[in-house]
């Protein structure tokens, strides 16, 4: 089976919602992505944590079948993100972003992770994303994410990175900023012209748009009565997407592969938000994921 190498942050998150506050729990894009993707294919993580990183979280990730050889443990503190949500969970406010050991992170991809066919570059400075990408000799299909900070700040390096990946996963605000265009369909087409043959624009509770060649395909989010913690939903979404492609060994995915992967992306995103931190993903099973996938496909089918 194909494997995935994912680089990005592992964090200790403090998340304040109207119902509950959780402090210094496992978070970070690479953690959410890997936990979600590991249901589908072997995952190698390339990241960094500080001396304060609890053993229980390290073990949780390893127990999930994630290869941690590429995770450096450095003197200092783990990346820390503290945020609050509005009463309806639709708005997030950052209280603190302490980069700590992530600030001087020099990614080193271990030997076995260099052979991965699939690469996912979670948000990092674009130069570092490119550095990881170049270290994975076996790569056949590479995806990236980014955030407004890098779109605004270092667009030359960002554009170079975008030109080298096969796919990009952004949220709607990021896509509009990158494409300088309000209509999301036009945004997707413009971003595809920067290089990636696969562009995904995430719209939170409204689902996502997939762009591939001339295709534009909308996917609604899996409808949920209860949403507890939106943190990491986008990363779990990406984990479901890349994971499902890796499971099928779809290194040159066609539209049918991409649709299945988008459905699994929505499934993993919907599971992630049903719990705080990675709690709900940890409690998920292959069987549950398959069942929610089947429900999603059935919801979508019209005959």
Q: What does the binding site for its own copies look like in residue numbers (CB under 8 A)?
A: 87-90, 182-186, 189, 203, 205-207, 209, 216-227, 256, 259-260, 263, 296-297, 299-303
In whole angstroms, the minimum distance from the beta carbon of 151 to its own copies comes to 18
Given the complex with its own copies, which of 114 and 189 has the nearer CB atom? 189
Smallest gap, in angstroms, from Cβ of residue 176 to its own copies? 9
Closest approach of its own copies to the CB of residue 239, in Å = 19
Tokens encoding 163: 């030109």
Residue 257, H or E segment = helix 255-272
Q: Work out how close the CB of 163 gets to its own copies at its nearest, in angstroms, rounded to a whole number.
A: 24
Residue placing its CB nearer to its own copies in the complex, 6 or 268? 268
Q: For its own copies, which is the closer residue by CB, 56 or 87?
A: 87
Identify whether the C-beta of residue 191 lies closer than 8 Å to the C-beta of residue 170: yes
Spell out the residues 6+ positions from residue 84 whose beta carbon is closer than 8 angstroms to its own: 16, 17, 92, 93, 95
Nearer to its own copies, 164 or 257 (CB): 257
Q: Residue 24 or 212: which CB sits closer to its own copies?
A: 212
- Cα–Cα distance list, 15 to 24, 27, 36, 100, 229 (Å): 8, 10, 20, 18, 8
Q: How far is the CB of 98 from its own copies (least distance, A)?
A: 31
Is residue 182 within 8 A of residue 159, CB to CB? The reply is: no
Are 170 and 197 within 8 A, CB to CB? no
* 243 contacts 41 by C-beta, under 8 angstroms: yes
Q: Minimum Å distance from CB 54 to its own copies?
A: 33
Contact criterion met (CB below 8 Å) for 85 and 230 = yes
- Comparing CB distances to its own copies, the nearer of 75 and 223 is 223
> Using alpha carbons only, what angle is made at residue 202 by residues 231 and 148, rounded to the nearest 5 degrees?
75
């Amino acid at each position: 089976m194909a494997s995935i190498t994912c680089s990005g942050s592992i964090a200790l998150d403090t998340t304040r919602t109207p119902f509950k506050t959780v402090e210094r729990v496992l978070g970070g894009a690479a953690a959410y992505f890997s936990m979600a993707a590991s249901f589908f294919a072997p995952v190698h993580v390339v990241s960094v944590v500080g001396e304060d990183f609890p053993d229980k979280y390290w073990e949780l990730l390893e127990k999930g079948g994630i290869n941690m050889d590429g995770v450096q443990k450095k003197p200092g503190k783990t990346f820390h993100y503290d945020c609050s949500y509005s009463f309806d969970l639709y708005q997030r406010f950052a209280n603190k972003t302490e980069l700590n050991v992530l600030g001087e992170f020099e990614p080193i991809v271990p030997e076995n992770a260099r052979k991965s066919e699939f690469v996912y570059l979670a948000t990092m400075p674009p130069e570092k994303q490119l550095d990881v990408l170049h270290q994975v000799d076996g790569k056949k299909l590479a995806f990236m994410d980014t955030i407004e900070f890098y779109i605004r700040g270092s667009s030359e390096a960002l554009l170079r990175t975008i030109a080298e990946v096969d796919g990009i996963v952004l949220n709607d605000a990021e896509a509009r900023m990158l494409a300088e265009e309000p209509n999301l369909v036009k945004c997707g087409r413009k971003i595809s012209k920067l290089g990636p043959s696969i562009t995904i624009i995430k719209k939170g509770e409204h689902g996502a748009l997939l762009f591939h060649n001339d295709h534009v395909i909308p996917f609604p989010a899996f409808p949920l009565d209860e949403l507890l913690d939106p943190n990491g939903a986008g990363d779990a979404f990406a984990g479901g997407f890349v994971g499902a492609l890796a499971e099928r060994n779809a290194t040159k995915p066609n539209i049918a592969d991409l649709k299945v992967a988008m459905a699994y992306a929505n499934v993993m995103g919907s599971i992630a938000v049903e719990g705080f931190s990675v709690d709900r993903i940890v409690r998920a099973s292959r069987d549950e994921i398959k069942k929610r996938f089947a429900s999603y496909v059935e919801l979508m089918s019209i005959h």
